[in-house]
A and B are shown apart, each in its own frame.
Chain A
Amino acid sequence: MHDSQFYFSLATGISIIVLGAALASAGIVDWGLFAVGCGITGLAMASKAGNRIKSVARTITARRYDNISSSR
């Protein structure tokens, strides 16, 4: 996921959380919109964390491969 995609998703999620919380607190709607905002924010964070874990795993694998290659 590109950084711009992540920041867009995060900004959208947080904005929807704020909007949803404001509308629900005022008793205009239920907490559905707030929950959608939480879902988008969570999805963005989880995706970013997943990418980071994959990147670290790739680095570790590459280093191990290099170590094995150099020891031979």
Chain B
Amino acid sequence: MQLDIVVAFFILGALARAVKSNLQLPPALYQSLTIFLLIAIGLKGGTALSQHASPILLPQSLAVISLGIAIPLIAFPLLFRFGQLNRTDSASIAAHYGSVSVATYAVAVAVLESRGIPYEAYFPLFVVLLEMPAIAVGIALARQGGKKVSWGPLLHEMTCNQGIVLMSGSLIIGYLAGEQVNSIMPLFGDLFHGVLALFLLEMGIVAASRISDIRMAAPFITAFAVLMPLVGAVLGGGLAHLLGFTAGGIFLLATLGASASYIAVPAAMRTALPDANHGLSIAASLGVTFPFNVLVGIPLYLATIEWLSKTQ
């Protein structure tokens, strides 16, 4: 299977870290690339939403939210019972896996576009919807152990974090702007793959540096961080199939189900569960799950879905 060109930059970043190269992107550039990707994805989704808005989006959205609730409920007992992690850490990690990674989604979209596979272009709506339920479920699971949560700052973090504000804002702008979006698409459309390659270069460096954080829990956390994407992909793909999505849409929801958050949820968990081991959550989601999805998972989900659609 041919390696996608943007994924090759991820490997380059990881290799650079492995050989202790001084390769480094300025933090401000990394932040700018993140903002660019969030706006580009949101705008594209908003434009598609304006063309495909229909009442069927409501049940689809509710079904997608239920996926975001189900995944942490599956992850939690695995972490708590088999992993022997405490309730707070289990709930925090489970929340990371119920939420989604925009970067993983961007890679999946890039793969679909490079192969010319059609998909439901309003998917950014589902990305936004999937960000939040898992945080609430994670906190509810932690609270079962008597943990008190101050909801004010948490609600603010859940609804007003950079990812949600930029992506939902761009989604609304794209939806309302109509044809006017074309005037800014040379920046946010044509440059998407190039910017994603730069972003993945940095992500490769960061992911490789996070692997060592797993330390003592290495075998269990590694196994969990590989198993959960597979479980999430099956759930997401199955749900998308039931909802009648195209093969591209099934692949995207499988990828969203498989991905784990490492930006929005960590920020929310720091506010809600300050005594959780945040390093472990990030190491699992960014050090193991993200590279697994980019290098093995995404080609696997796409090939399996293509094979299943051929055999039907």
Contacts and interface: CB of A to CB of B under 8 A. Distances in A.
Given A29-B303, A29-B304, A9 B296 contact: no
A40 B296 CA distance: 14
B84 A5 contact: yes
A27 to B, nearest CB: 9
B interface, over-half SS: helix
A5 B84 CA distance: 7
Interface stretch (B38-46, B157-165, B193-201, B218-226): B218-226
B304 A28 contact: yes
A interface, over-half SS: helix
Contact of A23 (B78, B224, B300): B300
A9 B295 CA distance: 21
B81 interface: yes
A54 to B, nearest CB: 12
B303 A28 contact: yes
B83 A29 contact: no
Interface string A1-23: 11011111100110110010001
B219 A43 contact: yes
A40 B223 contact: yes
B299 interface: yes
Contacts of A16: 226-227, 230
Interface residues of B, number: 25
B163 to A, nearest CB: 28
Contacts of A30: 1, 299
Contacts of A61: none
Contact of A47 (B1, B84, B219, B300): B219
Given A4-B84, A8-B78, A13 B223 contact: yes
B222 A40 contact: yes
Nearest to A26: B307
B108 to A, nearest CB: 16
A29 B299 contact: yes
A44 B81 contact: no
B82 interface: yes
A33 B300 contact: yes
Given A23-B304, A28-B304, A44-B219, A5 B226 contact: no
B228 to A, nearest CB: 10
Given A5-B84, A29-B299, A32-B295, A44 B223 contact: yes
A62 interface: no
Interface string B212-236: 0000111110111011001000000
Contacts of B216: 1
Given A5-B219, A26-B307, A40-B222, 4 more contacts: A8-B83, A12-B224, A12-B226, A29-B300
Interface of B: 1, 78, 81-84, 216-220, 222-224, 226-227, 230, 292, 295-296, 299-300, 303-304, 307
28 contacts: A1-B216, A1-B217, A1-B219, A4-B81, A5-B84, A5-B219, A6-B219, A8-B224, A12-B224, A12-B227, A15-B227, A16-B226, A19-B230, A23-B300, A23-B304, A28-B307, A29-B299, A29-B300, A29-B304, A30-B1, A30-B299, A32-B295, A36-B226, A36-B292, A43-B218, A43-B222, A47-B218, A47-B219
